[in-house]
Amino acid sequence: MNDLPNIDAESLKLIDETRLFAAPVATHKPRILLLYGSLRERSFSRLMAEEAERVLQLFGAETRFFHPSGLPLPDDADAEHEKVQELRELAQWSEGMVWCSPERHGAMTAVMKAQIDWIPLALQGVRPTQGKTLALMQVCGGSQSFNTVNQMRVLGRWMRMLTIPNQSSVPKAWLEFDDEGRMKPSSFYDRLVDVMEELMKFTHLVRDRSDYLVDRYSERKESAEAFRKRIDTRSI
């Protein structure tokens, strides 16, 4: 430690393999929240998210949807708005999420971004998204693009989520769903199954260890310094 003079020895911890590789404790089904980014009556992002929900349930997940109709724009209403409260409660309930957005003008939709923006990094001392898993999907009106999933990947990292490597992008989405709103058999459907399978695997691996995985030296150091300052103030 002598050759690392800038390290706060009290805040530094060695890797605790007993916690990292601890046997699973949770016995309930993995809790997955699904968000989609369009308010159209025949919303392909919603249809794709519904297809993902069916696959997740097959893999043993408990799923919930947030329907964004009625959600105000960020800062255009108080955080006590009923739709905002519903979204935040679902975010806290979840252990993983699926975000599915159309691509509009080369980016995610405002509907998708508004939902993400209403979920705070911290809420009453709790971080609603930190350490939770995330899967990303997009639907395209034309040729295949990855602009939206790439954008959402940046946001997932900003929200301190563990975004899985796999992702799904469906071109010409209007051709991939039948009149009943079900996704047709195709390589795109197979990729959706791949993504949901991977999300479930990562969620099972992470959910009993998420607190430890996101426990950071810098934050322990900051907390220790704040505690020492309070002690010093009391002793004056």
Is 83 within 8 Å of 72 (Cβ atoms)? Answer: yes
> Which is nearest to 138 in space by CA: 165, 178, 98, 110?
98
- Name which of 31-40, 56-65, 192-201, 213-222 the model is least confident about: 213-222
**Is residue 139 assigned to a domain?**
yes
Residue 218, domain member (yes or no): yes
83 and 114 Cβ atoms separated by less than 8 Å = no
Asked whether residue 183 is domain-assigned, the answer is yes
Q: Which amino acid is at 130?
A: Q
Q: Work out the average pLDDT over 152-173.
A: 96
Does residue 126 lie in a domain region? yes
CATH number at residue 205: 3.40.50.360
The answer to whether residue 202 sits within a structural domain is: yes
pLDDT at residue 2, as a whole number: 56
Helical residues (DSSP H) of the chain, grouped into ranges: 17-20, 44-58, 82-93, 110-118, 147-158, 187-206, 210-213, 217-235
Is the pLDDT at 1 greater than 50? The verdict is no
User: Per the structure block, which two tokens stand in for 58?
Assistant: 């097959």
Residues of the chain with pLDDT > 70, as a percent, come to 95
Domain that holds residue 56: 28-235
Indicate the pLDDT class of residue 161, thresholds 50, 70 and 90. very high
Is 175 inside a domain boundary? Answer: yes
Q: How many domains does the chain have?
A: 1
On whether residue 7 sits in a domain, the answer given is no
pLDDT at 231: 66
Summarised one tens digit per residue, pLDDT across range 64-102 is 999 999 999 999 999 999 999 999 999 999 999 999 999
